[in-house]
Homo-oligomer: A and B are copies of this chain.
Amino acid sequence: MRAALSPVELVHLLGEVGAYGVNFHDNDLVPIDATAAERDQIVRDFKAALAATGLVVPMATTNLFGDPAFKDGAFTSNDPQVRAYALQKTMHAIDLGVECGASIYVFWGGREGAESDAAKDPVEGLKRFREALNFLCAYVKDQGYTLKFALEPKPNEPRGDIYLATVGHALALINTLDHAEMVGLNPEVAHETMAGLNFLHGVAQAWDAGKLFHIDLNDQAPGRYDQDFRFGAVNPKNAFFLVKFLEDVGYDGSRHFDAHAYRTEDYEGVKDFARGCMRTYLILKEKAQRWNADGEIQALLAEIKAGDQAPIVYSAGAASELKAHSFDRLALGARGLPYERLDQLTVEVLLGVR
């Protein structure tokens, strides 16, 4: 609904609103049919815009979904020629990303899936995905790049079902890779929320596994098309818990606002949108600090955790002793837990009334 901006114009728009960096798909920057000379000129112009604005490129990725060649997938296509072409395109795009300074390389397999499970074997799909990632990890290491990979899961759209539907499925695949240590996650609010999952829980599991390499912040109503709304625009309470988590654990990667302004906006509105994403994050960060400093909230947390202790480490003796222990089941069940009070105070911090 809006005229497209060139990469250079976009860098200037982002610079104007105070963004830290800019990420891109290869073909956002260099058209798929550009000559080598055109590519080099585009990269020179782009780097000049980066230098002029002070923006950096924390992350890059490959467009493996827009071209009709990828209509049945890239790494998981049934056509071995397409799979080979996807590897080639990604190697070139990795080179481009590294040249522009990216340290994280994202894989979103938008076409890696199926509409009919008659047409594609899901075990074969996983196997092909694994082989492609193994190949590209080896390529990166061989080139001496320090790049890390971040998988971005999504349950569906544009495919009926996409492989690696959630943070969990992607984490599980990583454990089967040759170079699992260089592959992590790029969870996106909208993608987990489409499936109605608690995004924070997925992020927490990625963090627990040491795999939170990058994060895509936006917003989304559950059970719908991929909306990519302004961060915090749909559910500010969920956004609060997410910001609080990232700040509390000391996540030091990018906060990437992978969202789109409403179609109703002109470019002034796009700037409003971009500023809104950043401003809401900072407001929620301040609220997280306030929550952590709130005496009543902290007292409730202390009450909840009262009696907490180190986990019981297994030994034959500990097990025997525990089996013989007499628990007062009814007393355990009768204990009231002040979670309504705690959640209400959280809402009041969020709404700015305490």
Could you tell me which A residues sit within 8 Å of B by CB distance? 1, 32, 67-72, 78-85, 87-88, 91-92, 115-119, 121-123, 125-128, 131, 134-135, 138-139, 142, 155-158, 160-161, 163-173, 175-176, 194-198, 200-202, 204-205, 207-209, 221-227, 229-230, 232-237, 241, 245, 249, 261-270, 272-273, 275-276, 279-280, 283-284, 287, 297, 304-305, 307-309, 311-314, 316, 319, 322-323, 325, 327, 329-330, 332-348, 350-353
Contact = CB atoms under 8 A, between A and B. Distances in A.
A52 B273 CA distance: 53
A84 B325 contact: yes
Contacts of A157: 224-225
A28 to B, nearest CB: 18
Nearest to A139: B319
A88 B176 contact: no
Given A79-B335, A165-B166, A235-B235, A280 B72 contact: no
Nearest to A263: B71
A167 B200 CA distance: 17
B340 A172 contact: no
A91 B305 CA distance: 25
Copies of this chain in the oligomer:
4
A236 B236 CA distance: 7
A116 B169 contact: no
15 contacts: A69-B329, A71-B333, A84-B312, A84-B325, A117-B200, A119-B337, A173-B205, A195-B196, A196-B224, A230-B343, A264-B337, A269-B339, A272-B344, A273-B344, A283-B348
Given A135-B312, A166-B168, 9 more contacts: A1-B71, A67-B329, A80-B307, A116-B233, A122-B201, A225-B226, A233-B344, A267-B336, A279-B344
A227 B353 contact: no
A225 B158 CA distance: 8
Given A168-B166, A249-B123, A325 B88 contact: yes
Contacts of A85: 327, 329, 332
